[in-house]
Structure 1
Amino acid sequence: MMATAMPATNAAQRMRVFSLLVAACVSLVGCAAKPLIPYSTDTPPLILVPASQAAVLDKRARFREIFCAVLQARASTLPDYRPCEDALTRVGTEPPGTALPVDLGASRRHLIALVVPGIGYDCFKAWLNAPGTVTSHVRQSGYDAMMLDVSGLSGSAHNARQIRDAIMAMTPPDGPARLVLIGYSKGAPDILEAVVAYPEIRGRVAAIVSVAGAVGGSPLANDAEQYQADLLRHFPGATCTPGDGGAVQSLRPATRKAWLASNPLPRELHYYSLVTFPKPERISSILKRSYDKLSRVDARNDSQVIFYDQIVPGSTLVGYVNADHWALAVPIARVHTTIGSLFVTQNAYPREALTEALLRFVEEDLATTSQSSLETPANQ
């Protein structure tokens, strides 16, 4: 997202690089079988959480209003436009909208999205050479966004310390907290471990957002080994290190669920979940094998994570996105068009509009929640 321009490689080099990505992905999956739970949007939109934790709050209707307004307003200026009904998936019974106006003016709070990427990102980010269009777009509305570097092949506890150190190195805000920690894929559990282990960062954090986050892990990790993820170190130009070698272990469902059970999330923070719930035809061809394997558990997945494993317990449900795991956050097809046309066939998604809508939703919700707290008597 923040990478600078680099010389284009020739077609043969691009295909060699992508073949490594294919090898890394395919090595993590096996043969497909009939789905245990078939794909269906006629499903409860919220997961059940332990009685000791707060229930998930459904605010999909308001996010839909904001996202649709942003898409309509930016249709002629942003890439990969989709009609709103195709950009989001309706799951179960979605609450009615609020009919309130959507403010598309400059941000008042000037939130800063601090994005923690998924497994192996530091291995291929130079090859991806992301154009930084999301950051440049949200800055036009008074927000900011930046990528936080973590060890792509390390476990969540290791990366939690890196998140803590990066936040503490920033200048603290004069007023209300402005950092919105956005965890993509494995970045979500990395962030959750950080706010639990390091209370000193909580006062600087306005909100935490799981975006296709592996909050409950992924069953794909059960059959995977760390050496398979380490294939990403062989990307030409990769500068990633082995780290502590705990990335795959951190993604196993037993690991994540045991951690959640033993580590209550700080109640003073605001949590949000933006979930990928793509229609089957929105899965890129290269990801169909992992989608099929994960469908042996539940076909309601994005090719890497089942929909309910993406939801932070006690969070606000923002929406269900009609995009596969890569399309949500990794602009491969925009940067490498040949690879996009052959392998990453469903990679186009209006990420700039989505990020703007997400920040506007969080800012509005934080203001509403804060006002409600002020209006509620202390003895209630």
Structure 2
Amino acid sequence: MSASNPVSEREDGVTPRPVEHARASANARAGFAALVSCLALVACATKPLVPYTTDTPPLMLVPASYAGVQDKRARFREIYCAVLEAHGRALPDYSPCESALTRVGTEPAGTGAPVALGQSTRHLMAAVVPGIGYDCFKPWLNAPGTVTKQLRQYGYDGFMLDVDGLSSSAHNARQIRDAVMTMPPPDGPARLVLIGYSKGAADILEAVVAYPEIRSRVAAVVSAAGAVGGSPLANDAQQYQADLLRHFPGATCTSGDGGAVQSLRPATRQAWMAQNPLPGDVRYYSLVTFPEPQRISSILESSYDKLSRIDPRNDSQVIFYDQVVPGSALIGYVNADHWALAVPIARTHDMIGSLFVTQNAYPREALTEAILRFLEEDLSTSGK
């Protein structure tokens, strides 16, 4: 996704007149006002009680959350670094590998095996289930879709799987089921990779539990900054605050069943996990956002500080251990805040990016390619 000024030039190459520029700027400001209003979800904040540190055993801090988790960070780092160096420099927001990933505790040594960077043989297809309110601000965000373009160059594919942004995970699980079942069944190994961003991870987990008919069509499930264990920020929030997202310019979303915030509360997620063991015929992976404090955008510092009273190892919306699927393979800790991982605000709204979403740059295209390359290799060695 190339950085651009959304109001500087139209697609026909004609520079807009001042009134057009003013209207576009007003729309951007209105969208941001709704965004700020939504941040009422995080309320007030105080400074962290506990200092930030990465010097910790990453798989032993919270045994209940990390039960059965395999540490596969070393091989993912090798693949991601190779993709960044081979393809990332030609893409926006390039970052050296050491800056793109956070080293937490003692990371295992790499395998040294070569990384395949050519055309995919399995042609995995990423279906991304977005987080709360995405269908409300999707028109305002106007993301240019270059992640999909990057994937298709190498025989992969990707798309956004639409769900109700303000509905419960149970409601959205049915939408995921219906979308998957409309796709042609695989004539060989499954190709579909369900990637859940933020609340989307909870939606996916509910889908694979409630609808066993989709499992044979799913090659893997990935939590990407997923709210697997919920977010403590949701404890102080109400659904009407999330409904403010309906006021984004161009938004056509509805309140749905009104259960989005309830689905994000830790008690809700923990009760669901306790009552719904994950099926063993699906492979699970966890990609965790674990940013250095200076990588938190200024507008997210308040929520970061508030969560830091519980644990400073958070991405401004979710604590690191709440992003991990029990029994999954941990593939990496990403040095990006919650929005930077998947919501390219600064690329299409540069004024807002420079003033408020100040740490939004991240090499998302290279990251997504690396995820699918890692999965293709890992699934082939496991026989899935």
TM-score (normalizing by structure 2): 0.93
Q: CA deviation at 1:43?
A: 1.4
Match of 1:351 among 364, 374, 377: 364
For structure 1, list consecutive stretches of 5 or more residues without a partner in the other structure: 372-380
Residue 13 (structure 2) aligns with: none
Q: Distance in 1 between matches of 2:131 and 2:43?
A: 21
* 8 A contact 1:49–1:313 mirrored in 2: no
Q: In the alignment, does 2:268 pair up with 1:244? A: no
CA displacement 1:316-340 (0-9 Å, x = unmatched): 0000000000000001101111111
Q: CA deviation at 1:281?
A: 0.3
Q: Distance in 1 between matches of 2:356 and 2:67?
A: 41
Residue 28 (structure 1) aligns with: 41
Q: CA deviation at 1:34?
A: 4.0
Give secondary structure in 1 for the equivalent of 2:342.
Answer: coil
Q: CA deviation at 1:30?
A: 2.6
Residue 117 (structure 1) aligns with: 130
Deviating runs (4+, > 3 A) in structure 1? 5-9, 47-51
Residue 26 (structure 2) aligns with: 12
Residue 207 (structure 2) aligns with: 194
* 8 A contact 1:333–1:340 mirrored in 2: yes
Residue 130 of structure 2 aligns with an amino acid whose one-letter code is P
Match of 1:44 among 57, 65, 74: 57
Correspondences of 1:243-322 after superposition (within 5 Å): 243-322=256-335
Q: CA deviation at 1:35?
A: 2.4
Give secondary structure in 1 for the equivalent of 2:158.
Answer: strand
Residue 18 (structure 2) aligns with: none
* 8 A contact 2:150–2:365 mirrored in 1: yes
Residue 126 of structure 2 aligns with an amino acid whose one-letter code is A
Residue 60 (structure 1) aligns with: 73
CA displacement 1:125-166 (0-9 Å, x = unmatched): 001011000000010010000000000000000000000000
* 8 A contact 1:167–1:201 mirrored in 2: yes
Q: Distance in 2 between matches of 1:166 and 1:32?
A: 39
For structure 2, list consecutive stretches of 5 or more residues without a partner in the other structure: 11-20
Q: CA deviation at 1:54?
A: 5.4
Q: CA deviation at 1:33?
A: 2.6
**What is the aligned length?**
366
Residue 227 (structure 2) aligns with: 214
Q: CA deviation at 1:49?
A: 4.0
Q: In the alignment, does 2:355 pair up with 1:342? A: yes
Correspondences of 1:122-271 after superposition (within 5 Å): 122-271=135-284
